[in-house]
Amino acid sequence: MINKDFFQALEDLENEKKINKETFITTLETALTSAYKKMYGEAKSALVKLNPEKATIKIYSYKTVVNEVLDPDKEISLQDAKLIKKSIKLGETILQEESTKDFGRIAAQTAKQVVMQKLKEMERQMALNELSEKEDELLTTIVKRIDNGTIYVQISNTHTEGVMVPADQIPGEKFNVGDRVKVYVKKIKDSFKGTQIQVTRSNVGFVRKMFELEIPEVASGDVKIKNIARDPGNRTKVAIYTEKANLDPIGTCVGFHGQRIDTISSEMNGEKIDLIEYNDDPLDYIAKSLSPAKVLSVEINESLHSSRVIVPDDKLSLAIGKNGQNVRLAARLTGWKIEVKPESSTTVAVKEPEYELTELNDEDAFKGLSDIEELEEITPIDDDEE
3 state SS of 232:
coil
The answer to whether residues 283 and 187 belong to one domain is no
Residue 53 domain flag: yes
Instruction: Check residues 95 and 118 and name the one with the higher pLDDT.
Output: 95
Query: What number is the average pLDDT over the span 344-370?
Result: 45
Query: What number is the average pLDDT over the span 24-37?
Result: 74
Domain that holds residue 343: 279-347
Confidence at residue 40, expressed as pLDDT on a 0 to 100 scale:
65
The answer to whether residues 125 and 161 belong to one domain is no
Residue 31 domain flag: yes
Residue 62 domain flag: yes
3-state secondary structure labels for all residues of 15-81 = HHHCCCHHHHHHHHHHHHHHHHHHHHCCCCCEEEEEECCCCEEEEEEEEEEECCCCCCCCEEEHHHH
Out of 156, 183, 200, a domain closes at 200
Q: How many domains does one find in the chain?
A: 4
The answer to whether residues 23 and 93 belong to one domain is yes
The answer to whether residues 190 and 73 belong to one domain is no
Confidence at residue 182, expressed as pLDDT on a 0 to 100 scale:
95
Residue type, 253: C
Query: What number is the average pLDDT over the span 59-75?
Result: 85
The domain that holds 22 is classified in CATH as 3.30.1480.10
Residue 22 backbone phi and psi in degrees, to 5: -60, -30
Confidence at residue 330, expressed as pLDDT on a 0 to 100 scale:
97
Confidence at residue 18, expressed as pLDDT on a 0 to 100 scale:
66
User: For residue 276, how many other CB atoms are within 10 A of its CB?
Assistant: 25
Residue 91 domain flag: yes
Confidence at residue 8, expressed as pLDDT on a 0 to 100 scale:
75
Q: Is the dihedral of CA 209, 269, 199, 228 positive or negative?
A: positive
pLDDT tens-digit readout, 42-51: 556 777 777 7
The answer to whether residues 300 and 385 belong to one domain is no
Out of 130, 156, 176, a domain closes at 130
Q: What is the DSSP letter of 231?
A: E
The answer to whether residues 85 and 22 belong to one domain is yes
The answer to whether residues 196 and 126 belong to one domain is no
Least confident of 32-46, 190-204, 217-231, 364-378: 364-378
363 pLDDT band, cuts 50/70/90, is very low
The domain that holds 314 is classified in CATH as 3.30.300.20
The answer to whether residues 122 and 21 belong to one domain is yes
Query: What number is the average pLDDT over the span 34-63?
Result: 72
Instruction: Check residues 4 and 247 and name the one with the higher pLDDT.
Output: 247
Give the whole-angstrom CA distance, residue 335 versus residue 245.
26
Out of 102, 130, 158, a domain closes at 130
Residue 263 domain flag: no
Residue 102 domain flag: yes
Instruction: Check residues 158 and 262 and name the one with the higher pLDDT.
Output: 262
Confidence at residue 124, expressed as pLDDT on a 0 to 100 scale:
72
Confidence at residue 374, expressed as pLDDT on a 0 to 100 scale:
41
Give the whole-angstrom CA distance, residue 321 versus residue 338.
13
The answer to whether residues 24 and 93 belong to one domain is yes
Confidence at residue 382, expressed as pLDDT on a 0 to 100 scale:
45
- Residue 98 pLDDT exceeds 80: no
Residue 51 domain flag: yes
- Residue 146 pLDDT exceeds 80: yes
The answer to whether residues 31 and 95 belong to one domain is yes
Nearest to 374 by CA among 360, 384, 382: 360
The answer to whether residues 8 and 126 belong to one domain is yes
Instruction: Check residues 348 and 245 and name the one with the higher pLDDT.
Output: 245
56 pLDDT band, cuts 50/70/90, is confident
Residue 231 domain flag: no
The answer to whether residues 320 and 366 belong to one domain is no
Confidence at residue 101, expressed as pLDDT on a 0 to 100 scale:
65
Confidence at residue 376, expressed as pLDDT on a 0 to 100 scale:
39
192 pLDDT band, cuts 50/70/90, is low
- The mean pLDDT of the chain is 82
pLDDT tens-digit readout, 244-302: 999 999 999 999 999 999 999 999 999 999 999 999 999 999 999 999 999 999 999 99
